[in-house]
Amino acid sequence: MRPKWEEEASWIWYPEWKTEDESEAGRFVYFRKVFEVKQGSYTCPLRISADSRYRLFVNGVSVSRGPCKGDRFTWYYEEVEIGEYLTEGTNVIAVQVLRLPYEGGGNASVWRTRLPGLYVHAAILDEQNKVIINSHTDASWQCMKDESISLSQGVYTQFLGITETVNGSIRPFGWTGAAYRSEQWEEAAVYQFDIVHGGLKPWELRERPIPHLYEAERRFTGVSRLAAEAGELDWQGLITNDQPLLIEPGKSISIDFDAGELTTGYLELVMSGGQGSNIRLICAECYEKPPIIVPWIRDKGIRTDSVNGDLYGDVDIYRPAGSIQPFECYEPFWFRTFRYVRLEMETGDEGMVLHRFAYRETGYPLNVAAAYTSSDPQETDLWDISVRTLKRCMHETYEDCPYYEQLQYVMDTRSQIQFTYLVSGDDRMARRTLYDFYSSLLPEGLTQSRYPSVESQVIPGFSLYWILMLHDHMMFAGDRALIERYLPGVEAVLGYFHRTIDERGLVGTMNPRYWSFVDWAEEWREDYGVPGAAKQGALTVYCLMYTYALQKAAELAAYAGKSGIAEEYRTRAVQMQTAVKEHCSSLTYPGCLTDGPGVEAYSQHTQIWAVLSGTMSGERAQQAMKLSIENPDFVPCSFAMAIYLFRALAVVGLYDKVHDLLAPWRQMASDGLTTWMEDTVSKRSDAHAWGSVPIYEYATETLGVQIVAPGCEEIRIRPRIGRLKRAEGCVMTSKGIVSVEWKLIDSSFCFIASWPKQISCTIILPDGQTVRGENSGYYSTIISRQNLYGHN
């Protein structure tokens, strides 16, 4: 049943809207509602949504952005309290709405329906909670099409469509304030829908499931490069304390500003004068050599090298109104991703004064409660970069990369969720992600590989990661009701793979319309991450991933009380293991598995999933993993698959290899990256959170905190010494924080741990001793150092 308040307001839009009004990448429409308020104390819980995006102002103050990304059948609204922004006398609620084109163009991760629209429910209440004013959207709202901003799809940010060209001379300055005169604006048109007989509106409203994104004032740390004429001016004063800076007429200036780290934020440029001037803003992740293929294949080295490198990216253009407007503030509608921002200016006959150039950082409000340090200071850097990368790839959804796509992919997101649990204990984004991909299910049973997305894409193996994601949440939070809700989706995915099984008992050839991506390995570059064995049929790695997903699905079903289904999944897994051993065993490297039946091609990936699924175990598994990381015949993993490589090494007792395998991360830090790059094949993105694997390694292996029972009812702490002399930190769980500290002092190993008392804890010490901490919440010991070796 719809809530009563939803029917009290109408969806409205600009009258006589035409398809061509939506333009290549979108079009802005402004809305206003003016009303009078008497002196007093008021509250006003305002609910708002729009198709496609909005920015809400109350009396000129920016209050909210949205709506949170949804899809056709889940359209989110935000609720914000605006009572504090109301004043005695004339007030105005103003909304800037970006309508994205219904067919193609614009931001690929933002859904849009066949109709544009704005919805606002705003009831102003007095101290007795009585409604005194209704400011709901109806025909009394005024609207105007914006003619000053044109959007284009961009070349580098082609998935986003956020590149702006703005003509300041025709901007409706002051339109968000009560003093603005809007007599020439149009009366809004009201939509009418027949919903009596079960028909659905284009927008099925649901409350936003995650917190609002934060916005925090930030300043650039310095200037990284400037042209000769620009060097005569005090740019540092401008960016440090808003010291006004005069740019004389007829000047051409280029200057690069450094944010100190890769970030996401809303740029803010305040100026006066400058009529006839042209301002260009280029946001870039780093300095680099000219792209090999724009934007996909890049040539990047030292990311801070402003001498031998340059900045590449799409250009936002602003043409000031000049003296006819006392001050102008330009801020792009959508946030930008950057480490460096180039400001290019060509002044005309009128000089221009810059008053401020800064930005407001934005992202998901991730509360990082975990911490880590060790005797190796480089590990602290790797931890910090990992956390920063995770934060930069979290906005309204998890994102593959904030600069280029801002799309939520299953493989990326599964790792990001695991990292989020460890650093914050926050599962709100995880819950919405599970729902997103459940909503993406296709009739034949697979999830889409990225979602929400207006362009459907299928990578069959990615659907299996969604099952693993659900299992992760079971272990972290429990929640049987959630597991029961999504079990039909689990069955749908597994059913698809089951139906592909061929006469050999293997997962057969995938639908050629789908992308059988596995990893961004250099050897698979020409086939875009698809193993070469796929050309001859079945992929062993898909058989093994399916086996592992069956095993985890069995645990999900058992947890939900579906014992019969659990047994069926376990039986299927055993059958697949038998078929793989029979048809995919190597002749060249006995004990290893080939990438496909009868195909003497090899990869780390196949051995990894054989170990994780238990298809290989014991000494055979150890030898296979050892060979796969030492023999060049085996295609190595990229950053995306590293977390699974490290898990397999831990299973077979070769975790000591991980230190050396983390060398690429140390190299990235040396190259000046402040977030982890996507891969070494394309070198496109410098912010991909699947590379934040040091979080997982330091939290679950070095400190040794691992969940071993659903709902975090039981944990195990098994620290690894490796090459360290000391490690300490804290790890989040759904029941609270777990702290671990250990160090080698002279002839002793000192260990201290604490955990929430409602968690049962088993501690496995480096000397092989097992201690049941039960629910005591604390344990400490000192062990003779001579007993440690051979047990870690």
Tell me: the pLDDT tens digits for 108-145? 999 999 999 999 999 999 988 888 889 999 999 999 99
Integer CA distances (angstroms), 747 to 751, 763, 766, 785, 786, in order: 13, 21, 14, 5, 7
**295 within 8 A of 158, measured Cβ to Cβ:** yes
Strand stretches in 465-537, DSSP E: none
- Neighbour-count burial of 18, counting CB atoms closer than 10 A to its CB (0-12 exposed, 13-18 middle, 19+ buried): exposed
Over residues 430-447, mean pLDDT: 98
* Rounded Cα distance, 319 and 547, in Å: 59
**420 within 8 A of 731, measured Cβ to Cβ:** no
Q: Tell me the backbone φ, ψ of residue 310, rounded to 5 degrees.
A: -140, 170
- Residue 463's nearest CA partner among 514, 505, 501, 533 is 514
**162 within 8 A of 333, measured Cβ to Cβ:** yes
* Rounded Cα distance, 677 and 691, in Å: 7
Strand 75-81, strand 131-134: pairing: unpaired
Question: Is the predicted pLDDT of residue 372 greater than 60, yes or no?
Answer: yes
* Rounded Cα distance, 92 and 326, in Å: 22
* Rounded Cα distance, 485 and 7, in Å: 29
Hey, CA dihedral for 446, 449, 453, 454, is it positive or negative?
Answer: negative
The CATH number of 406-674, from 4.10.780.10, 3.40.50.10860, 1.20.810.10, 1.50.10.10, is: 1.50.10.10
- Tens of pLDDT, residue by residue over 278-300, are 999 999 999 999 999 999 999 99
- CB burial of 438-462 (b: ≥16 within 10 Å; e: otherwise) equals bbbbeeebbbbbbbbbbeebbbbbb
- Tens of pLDDT, residue by residue over 634-663, are 999 999 999 999 999 999 999 999 999 999
Residue limits of CATH 2.60.120.260 in the chain: 4-146+170-208, 215-363
Sorting pLDDT into bands at 50, 70 and 90, what band is 325? Answer: confident
Q: Which residue has the tokens 């299927």?
A: 572
Strand 163-167, strand 315-319: pairing: parallel
Quickly list H helices, 519-638.
Answer: 540-559, 563-583, 604-612, 618-630
How high is the pLDDT of residue 8? 83
Sorting pLDDT into bands at 50, 70 and 90, what band is 724? Answer: very high
- Tens of pLDDT, residue by residue over 12-47, are 999 999 888 888 899 999 999 999 999 989 999 999
- Tens of pLDDT, residue by residue over 408-430, are 999 999 999 999 999 999 999 99
How many percent of the chain have pLDDT more than 90? 92
**Can you read off the two tokens belonging to residue 685?**
């993105």
**96 within 8 A of 120, measured Cβ to Cβ:** no
Q: Which amino acid is at 380?
A: T
Q: What is the DSSP string of 669-715?
A: HHTT-SS--S-TTT---S--GGG-HHHHHIIIIIS-EEE-SGGGSEE
- CB burial of 298-320 (b: ≥16 within 10 Å; e: otherwise) equals bebebbbbbeebebbbbbbebbb
- Tens of pLDDT, residue by residue over 728-763, are 999 999 999 999 999 999 889 999 999 999 999 999
- Cα maximum dimension of the chain: 86
How high is the pLDDT of residue 789? 59
377 CB-side CA count, 13 A: 0
Note the residue count of the chain: 792
- Residue 133's nearest CA partner among 93, 192, 161, 75 is 93
**319 within 8 A of 166, measured Cβ to Cβ:** yes
**151 within 8 A of 164, measured Cβ to Cβ:** yes
- Sequence-ordered list of residues with C-beta below 8 angstroms from that of 750, at least 6 positions apart, any chain: 742, 743, 744, 780, 781, 782
**Can you read off the two tokens belonging to residue 129?**
């909670």
Over residues 435-455, mean pLDDT: 97
Angle, alpha carbons 436-442-443 (nearest 5°): 140
**289 within 8 A of 300, measured Cβ to Cβ:** yes
How high is the pLDDT of residue 155? 96
Strand 315-319, strand 45-51: pairing: unpaired
Q: Tell me the backbone φ, ψ of residue 705, rounded to 5 degrees.
A: -90, 115
Over residues 262-276, mean pLDDT: 97
Question: Is the predicted pLDDT of residue 791 greater than 80, yes or no?
Answer: no
Calculate helix-pair angle for 618-630, 604-612, nearest 10 degrees. 160
Residue limits of CATH 1.50.10.10 in the chain: 406-674
Q: What is the DSSP string of 186-233?
A: EEPEE-----TTSPPPS--EEE--SPPPEEEEE---EEEEE-TGGGGS
- Tens of pLDDT, residue by residue over 610-619, are 999 999 999 9
Question: Is the predicted pLDDT of residue 790 greater than 70, yes or no?
Answer: no
- Residue 721's nearest CA partner among 704, 746, 696, 739 is 704
* Rounded Cα distance, 648 and 614, in Å: 10
**Can you read off the two tokens belonging to residue 655?**
């975790």
What pTM, to 2 d.p., does this model score?
Answer: 0.97
- Tens of pLDDT, residue by residue over 326-337, are 999 999 999 999
- CB burial of 745-780 (b: ≥16 within 10 Å; e: otherwise) equals eeeebebebbbbeebbbbbbbbbeeeeebeeebebe
CATH number of 4-146+170-208: 2.60.120.260
Q: Cα 35 from chain centroid? A: 39
Question: Looking at the domain 215-363, which fold is it?
Answer: Jelly Rolls (2.60.120)
Mean pLDDT (the chain, rounded): 95
- Tens of pLDDT, residue by residue over 48-61, are 999 999 999 999 99
How high is the pLDDT of residue 1? 52
Strand 142-145, strand 61-66: pairing: unpaired
Q: What is the DSSP string of 604-628?
A: HHHHHHHHHTTSS-HHHHHHHHHHH
Q: Cα 63 from chain centroid? A: 23
